[in-house]
Amino acid sequence: MTSPGSFGPLQFQLVLLRRMADHQPELVDDARRELGVSLAEMREANRRWQAMVRSPRGRGSLSRYRSVLGPPERVEQRKIGDLACEALLWPVPLWPDLRFEVMVANGSAVWNEWLVRAPGAAGPEPRTAEDLRPWSCTVDEVARAFPPARPLEGTAPTRFGLGFTLPDGRAAVAEFTWGLLQRWSAA
């Protein structure tokens, strides 16, 4: 791991993993070992992130991401309804085909932050329930595969739900953490 005072992309990946551990502890343990860090180091990275987020003297969300992740790999202009916004994308070495996306409106107001498929990367094309494996799909990929999907409130700030209907007619709910599929169940 890097020096104790630094907080960069590696530690940020540990923050992503910490919340995912609630649903997929085995996958998180494998990823943590791949990164060469201990459980204690993952917990410490999460503690430090939470301290940054909650600090009364802390940076705003966008400044915090820039200070931790560096300059974005890509910035895209997007329009969602009448809202003009920017999507800032950073690589996530643990998931080379994904990017961490921060959606910003009005220059600095962060209104969404999650993992998305990297531009140009071939994503999965789920067609059945069996295709919905943990960490295989992003929110957008599941929503496109099973229209009409409806967003559902998540159980924590970094969690997102999606209601949809499987091809066999069963209603289902998918749970995502930081935009990455964790699990699904028949509703």
Per residue in 75-105, pLDDT tens?
A: 999 988 888 899 999 999 999 999 999 999 8
Percent of the chain exceeding pLDDT 90 equals: 78
Question: Residue 7: what pLDDT?
Answer: 93
Work out the average pLDDT over 125-147: 95
**SS3 call for 26:** helix
What's the CA gap between 29 and 35, in Å, rounded?
A: 10
User: Which residue has tokens 């990164």?
Assistant: 35
Of 158, 139, 154, 135, the C-alpha closest to 49 is 158
| Predicted model pTM | 0.91
The answer on pLDDT for 69 being more than 50 is yes
Is residue 1 a contact partner of residue 8, using CB atoms and an 8 Å limit? Answer: no
Of 42, 23, 116, the C-alpha closest to 76 is 116
Question: Residue 1: what pLDDT?
Answer: 46
Burial state string for 136-165 with b = 16 or more CB within 10 A and e = fewer than 16: ebbbebbbebbeebeebeeeeebbbbbebe
Element (H, E) at 151: strand 150-153
111 — pLDDT class (breaks 50, 70, 90)? confident
